[in-house]
Amino acid sequence: MNPSPSSQTWSQRFETALHPAIAQFNASIGFDIELIEYDLTGSQAHAKMLAKTGIISPEEGEQLVQGLEMIRQEYRRGEFNPGVEEEDVHFAVEHRLTQLLGDVAKKLHTARSRNDQVGADTRLYLRDQIHHIQTQLRQFQQALLSLAQANVETLIPGYTHLQRAQPLSLAHHLLAYVDMIQRDSARLADLLHRVNISPLGCGALAGTPFPIDRHYTAELLGFESAYANSLDGVSDRDFAIEFACAASLILVHLSRLSEEIILWASEEFSFITLTDRCATGSSIMPQKKNPDVPELVRGKTGRVFGHLQSLLVMVKGLPLAYNKDFQEDKEALFDTVNTVRACLQAMTILLEEGLEFRPTRLADAVASDFSNATDVADYLAAKGVPFREAYNLVGKVVKTSLSANKLLKDLTLEEWRSLHPAFESDIYDAIAPRQVVAARNSVGGTGFDQVRQALAAAAERLKAEAEN
């Protein structure tokens, strides 16, 4: 009988093959095939190192590198599709290499363990994905920035407690998200240093008796350094957890914007219209246009938080060093990456072509509320009335106006003066929405001058980063 690949994998200590259900249970090939290109690249670097240090001959090293390259081409042509009998991507590659090269392939695993190998693969994968996500973050910021540039003087109600508070430049509102995403980018750049460390050469847990050159493999693979402690090198998953945490914050930001867009698109707010490009209909209510994109982004956020939780719990009780529990990191990590990337892409498209602001409706909104009440108090305070006294006076006038069904702009000069003699006819200008916004020109405020400066700074920063 032909032994199955998995019974061949183990040393001769084993006599019978795995129970098929256990083989299935144990296997990770169904998902870790995602790592194949990194596994091949990592193995090529390892083979070169073995040759450079004289552990294998230069010819053997060259053969291994070529053989691994052949597997890469087979995989890219769709001809390499290992099944569950291979257990995982590392064994699958080694078996295929043995079929292609014969005995020399059996030298590849010298001075290496799947424990340091899988750690290297995962880090190479994540490093690439972080670069893609950084690019997508920039594209998303660019979409926010373009909308902001077109809407410096568009006013929108600003809220605290979801109660109308003070009007804002719409650009200022959008720029807040640009800044949040900037922190996300910075977080990724920072954690990338801790992703980009080579565990190769840590072996199973204790290092290896062979005269390997860990710095050479690290250098070939573009790692910034190599783990100083072999036990730490094979059992560290902090980098995956840090990434899941950074990914969760990206989604927190996307989810908050999603929630605002969903509110803005409601009949009650009516601040935006969803275009047909990104909205969906109802199967029963013909009048409806649903904000599925932001709703899905909001919904998918929970799933990424879940992966962060899984990774934390996966690691917390593990004794050093490698434990098979680590195999569970991959699906969490891959799905986190895929979800963040899909959400960033969808939200960027939504901003670029999925929504239209309704300027008239927004102008009406900011002109028909009491969100200029602080400005009346500020007006008096600027004339020497203590702010708290002014605040109390304005509270009173809001109350009487509300019961008279009037807005502050409808009060006559006499009415203002009966409240306080300091009022003059310039009060009307001071409480007009445009002036209310323009006046908040403190650093970082919504005043148009500040917003223009912030826009220019963000545009310059994005441009510099894109060129980098």
Task: Provide the annotated active-site residues.
Answer: 161, 282
Q: Give the residue, chosen from 39, 60, 85, 88, that forms a contact with ligand ARG under the rule CB under 6 A.
A: 88
Judged by CB, which is closer to ligand ARG: 140, or 326? Answer: 326
Q: Give the residue, chosen from 227, 239, 322, 423, that forms a contact with ligand ARG under the rule CB under 6 A.
A: 322
In the complex, least distance from residue 113 CB atom to ligand ARG, rounded to whole angstroms: 7
Q: What is d(CA 95, CA 88) in angstroms, rounded to the nearest whole number?
A: 11
In the complex, least distance from residue 87 CB atom to ligand ARG, rounded to whole angstroms: 7
Strand partners, 157: 167
Alpha carbons within 13 angstroms on the beta-carbon side of residue 435 total 15
Candidates 130-138, 293-301, 322-330, 417-425; binding stretch for ligand ARG (CB under 6 A) = 322-330
Strand partners, 155: 169
In the complex, least distance from residue 101 CB atom to ligand ARG, rounded to whole angstroms: 22
* Site size for ligand ARG (CB under 6 A): 11
Q: Give the residue, chosen from 6, 28, 129, 301, that forms a contact with ligand ARG under the rule CB under 6 A.
A: 28
Long-range contacts of 214-221, Cβ-Cβ distance < 8 Å, separation of 24 or more: 216/48, 216/49, 216/52, 216/53, 217/45, 217/46, 217/48, 217/49, 220/45, 220/48, 220/49, 221/41, 221/42, 221/45, 221/120, 221/124
Candidates 162-170, 238-246, 319-327, 365-373; binding stretch for ligand ARG (CB under 6 A) = 319-327
Instruction: Work out whether strand 163-169 and strand 197-198 pair parallel, antiparallel, or are unpaired.
Output: unpaired
Judged by CB, which is closer to ligand ARG: 216, or 326? Answer: 326
Instruction: Work out whether strand 163-169 and strand 355-357 pair parallel, antiparallel, or are unpaired.
Output: unpaired
Judged by CB, which is closer to ligand ARG: 9, or 435? Answer: 9
In the complex, least distance from residue 323 CB atom to ligand ARG, rounded to whole angstroms: 9
Exposure b/e, 233-254, CB count within 10 A at least 16 = b: bbbbbebbbbbbbbbbbbbebb
Q: Does 36 bind ligand ARG (CB under 6 A)?
A: no
Candidates 230-238, 272-280, 320-328, 377-385; binding stretch for ligand ARG (CB under 6 A) = 320-328
Candidates 66-74, 97-105, 318-326, 458-466; binding stretch for ligand ARG (CB under 6 A) = 318-326
Judged by CB, which is closer to ligand ARG: 28, or 348? Answer: 28
Judged by CB, which is closer to ligand ARG: 143, or 195? Answer: 195
Judged by CB, which is closer to ligand ARG: 92, or 220? Answer: 92
In the complex, least distance from residue 450 CB atom to ligand ARG, rounded to whole angstroms: 51
Q: Does 9 bind ligand ARG (CB under 6 A)?
A: no
Q: What is d(CA 256, CA 181) in angstroms, rounded to the nearest whole number?
A: 12
Q: What is d(CA 171, CA 357) in angstroms, rounded to the nearest whole number?
A: 12
Judged by CB, which is closer to ligand ARG: 280, or 323? Answer: 323
- The interface with ligand ARG within residues 100-139 (CB under 6 A) comprises 114-115, 118
Q: Interior CA angle at 157 toward 153 and 162, to 5°?
A: 155
In the complex, least distance from residue 464 CB atom to ligand ARG, rounded to whole angstroms: 39
Judged by CB, which is closer to ligand ARG: 118, or 437? Answer: 118
Site map 249..288 versus ligand ARG, x via CB under 6 A:
----------------------------------------
Place of tokens 């060093």: 321
In the complex, least distance from residue 56 CB atom to ligand ARG, rounded to whole angstroms: 23
Is 407:401 a contact under the CB 8 Å cutoff?
yes
Residue 365 preceded by cis peptide, ω within 30: no
Is 366:170 a contact under the CB 8 Å cutoff?
no
In the complex, least distance from residue 307 CB atom to ligand ARG, rounded to whole angstroms: 16
Site map 323..362 versus ligand ARG, x via CB under 6 A:
-x-xx-----------------------------------
> For binding to ligand ARG (CB under 6 A), which residues are involved?
28, 32, 88, 90, 114-115, 118, 322, 324, 326-327
